[in-house]
Amino acid sequence: MRDYLEACLAEVPQSDYRRRLREELEAHLTDLGESLLAGGYGEEEAARRAMELLGKPEALREQYREAWERQPERRRRDLRDLFSGCVLAGFGCFLALGLLKALGFTYDQAYPGRRVFPILGDPRWKLVFGLALFLGETLPNLAWLLLRFRRRSLRRAWVTAGLLLAWGLEKGAILLLSAGIYGMSPLQLPRLLARIAAGGDPTAPWLTPVYLLGTLAATVLIGLAAGG
Amino acid sequence: MRVDKELSKGSHELLLLKLLSRGDKYGYQLIQEMALLSDRAFEMSQGSLYPFLHKLEAGGLLTSYREDVTGRSRVLYHLTDKGRKVLAEKERSWRAFVEAVESVLRGQAECRTE
C-alpha cells in the first residue's frame, strides 16, 4: 500500500497538502480493505482489490498534481521560491564581486607596478566586469528556479518572472543605496545613474543605461529560453 | 444500471453536495452512500473523490475538520451556507434539465404514435 500511495502522490511535493491527501487515501484504503475482507476476500486479495478500486496511480498522479497546483499553500510556496531565488542572486552578486576584486578588478585607474584591471575608463574591463557580475547573480537564481518550477505549467513564465524580480530588486537596491549615499532623489534617475556610473567615487561604475537595458533584455531572453 | 460516465461526471458536484446536506461525512462514507442510494448507478472514481472535495472546499462550498470516528482519525466534510445555496440552485437547474429532456423524449414518443 505504501508503494502504491507513493506512486499516486509522486507529483505532489512534501507539504501539508500531501500529508492530508495521503492520510485521507490511507484511511479510505483501510476502510475499503476492511469492507472487502468482511465480504469474503482474503487479506492480500482485499488489499489488491482496494487499490484497484481507488484507481490507477498513473491517472491519479495527474489529478493530484492538478489539485496541488490549486492549493493556496502552493501559491505561498511559489512566492517563497521566487524570493529565495532573489536571495541566491544576492549571494551570487556578492560572491562575484569578491572574486572579481580578488582577481584584481578595481574601479580606479591602474596603479603603476600592480596587476590591476581598472574598469573606469576601460570599456573592455568594464564589459568583462559587468558580464561576470550579471552571470554571477543570474546563474544561481536560474538553476534554483529551474529546479523549483520543474514540471510546472507556465514554467517559462515563472522562471522569467523570478529572474526579472531579482534583476529589479538588485538594481533597485543599488539605486536606492546610491541615492542615499549621494543625497539625491531616486526619482532623478538619469542624473542618479550618471553619478553612480561615473565621476568621483562612483558606487557602481558598470551600472550604465546600456548595462541596464542589456541585462534586462538578456534576463528576459534567458528566462524564455531556459524555462521552456 | 450504470449511468453513462460522461453524463454522471457533471452531476457529481450536485450529488456530493446533496449527500453532505444530510450531515457531515468523510470520503469513504460519501462513496458508499452514493453507490448505495443510486443502486450503484453512480460510482465515482474513488481516488478522484478527494481532489474533487478539496476543490469544493477551496471554492467555499465545504469546510473540513478532523474527528475520531470508530477509533480512527477522519477528515469530515461539512456543507457551508454558500454550499447550500449552490446546491439549491443546482437542484433547480437539474430538475429543469430533466423535465426538458423528458418532454423532448415524450414528444418523440407521441410523434411516433401519431
Domain CATH for B64: 1.10.10.10
Name the domain boundary from A32, A53, A69: A69
Question: Are A133 and A194 in a shared domain?
Answer: yes
B35 touches chain A (CB under 8 A): no
Number of domains making up chain B: 1
Q: Is the pLDDT of residue B26 over 90?
A: yes
Gap between the Cα atoms of B46 and A56, Å rounded: 10
Chain A residues near residue B54 by CB distance under 8 angstroms? 21, 67, 70-71
Residue A16's domain comprises 2-69
pLDDT of the residue at A99: 93
Tell me which residue in A32, A64, A66 faces B28 most closely, judged by beta carbons: A32
Mutate to test the interface with B, among A36, A60, A66, A71 (most CBs of B within 10 A): A60
What pLDDT is attached to residue A173? 93
pLDDT at A1: 79
- Same domain for A109 and A33: no
Residue range A69-96: average pLDDT?
A: 92
B58 closest CB neighbour out of A30, A63, A70: A70
Lowest mean pLDDT among A57-66, A123-132, B8-17: B8-17
**What pLDDT sits at residue B109?**
59
Q: Residue B12: its pLDDT value, please?
A: 86
Residue A121, pLDDT > 90, answer no
| Averaged pLDDT for residues B59-79 | 90
Same domain for A142 and A218?
yes
pLDDT beyond 80 at A186: yes
Whether the per-residue pLDDT at B58 is higher than 80: the answer is: yes
Out of B46, B58, B73, the one facing A28 most closely (by C-beta) is: B46
- Nearest beta carbon to residue A28 from set B27, B45, B54: B27
Q: Classify the complex by whether its ipTM is higher than 0.85, answering yes or no.
A: no
> The domain containing residue B40 runs over which residues?
5-113
Confidence of residue A206 (pLDDT cuts 50, 70, 90): confident
Residues 6+ apart with CB under 8 A from B61: B17, B79, B80, B82, B83, B86
pTM above threshold 0.90: no
Q: How many domains does chain A have?
A: 2
Q: A12, A45, A69: which is the final residue of a domain?
A: A69
**CB of B36 less than 8 A from some CB of A:** no
- Within 8 A by CB and 6+ apart from B32, the residues are none
Same domain for A118 and A192?
yes
- pLDDT of B21 > 80? The answer is yes
Q: What is the mean pLDDT of chain A?
A: 88
The one-letter amino acid at A51: M
Q: Write down which residue in A50, A69, A88 finishes a domain.
A: A69
* Cβ-based contacts of B71 with chain A (< 8 Å): none
Q: Which residues of A touch B47 (CB under 8 A)?
A: 8, 25, 54-55, 59-60, 63
